[in-house]
Amino acid sequence: MTINFSNASFVKSTPSIKEAPKGQYPEVLLVGKSNVGKSSLINALCNKKSLAYTSSKPGHTRLLNYYNIDNKLYLVDAPGYGYAKGGIDLDKLFSDVMNDYFTNATRVKLVLVLLDSRRELGENDIEIINYLIDKDINYALVMTKLDKINQSERHHLVKHLKEVGVDESKVLFTSILKPRTFDSLRSLIQM
């Protein structure tokens, strides 16, 4: 499947899967800790500056946001986890939205689990990866903000991923400052 990622548009935001677009396309879902760069990754993939709303303050995306990519698939931006902010428990929001999503969405082609290259995997990250393995859902790990680490930190990170049992073939590295780092992600999505 060849996809023109530049032909992207926002479809809708929805608090629950009931009001989601009616499943005519396969979906690629993005999950990850708040502020890891989910919305930024959508913009970088689609070569657009502000298709998805990004913010340096965590907790920005609170709904499922659907983007139509070239009338061939939906990219779905999910709320982040890992912060309790302004009276909103993001972990609860995340698990409610995700339970709803995985129980009702039938066309998940791939889940991208985003992780900050500077950090070790948290409990939440590992829980989600195990959930995806358990449910036999196709996934990949995207290490974001690659520009923030040096070579030796990258080595350390790869070693850490091995130690926690991550399958290396499932790992990609990206940086919004290096547009070419998104090439392999585009290939993976088109597979």
Ligand X SMILES: Nc1nc2c(ncn2[C@@H]2O[C@H](COP(=O)(O)OP(=O)(O)OP(=O)(O)O)[C@@H](O)[C@H]2O)c(=O)[nH]1
Q: Which residues bind ligand X (CB under 6 A)?
A: 32, 34-40, 54-56, 58-61, 80, 144-145, 147-148, 175-177
* 159 alpha-carbon distance from chain centroid: 22
Q: Does 40 bind Mg ion (CB under 5 A)?
A: no
Element (H, E) at 27: strand 27-32
Q: Say if CB 155 and CB 161 are below 8 A apart.
A: no
Q: Which residues contact 118 (CB under 8 A, 6 or more apart)?
A: 145, 148, 149, 153
If the CB atoms of residues 27 and 161 are measured against Mg ion, the closer one turns out to be: 27
If the CB atoms of residues 61 and 174 are measured against Mg ion, the closer one turns out to be: 61
Element (H, E) at 96: helix 90-104
| Smallest gap from residue 79 Cβ to Mg ion (A) | 8
| Smallest gap from residue 34 Cβ to ligand X (A) | 4
Binding track over 43-62 against Mg ion, x by CB under 5 A: -----------------xx-
| Smallest gap from residue 63 Cβ to Mg ion (A) | 10
How far is Cα 15 from Cα 78, in angstroms, rounded to an integer? Answer: 10
Element (H, E) at 188: helix 183-190
> Using CB under 5 A, which of 35, 39, 174, 175 touches Mg ion?
39
Q: Which residues bind Mg ion (CB under 5 A)?
A: 38-39, 60-61
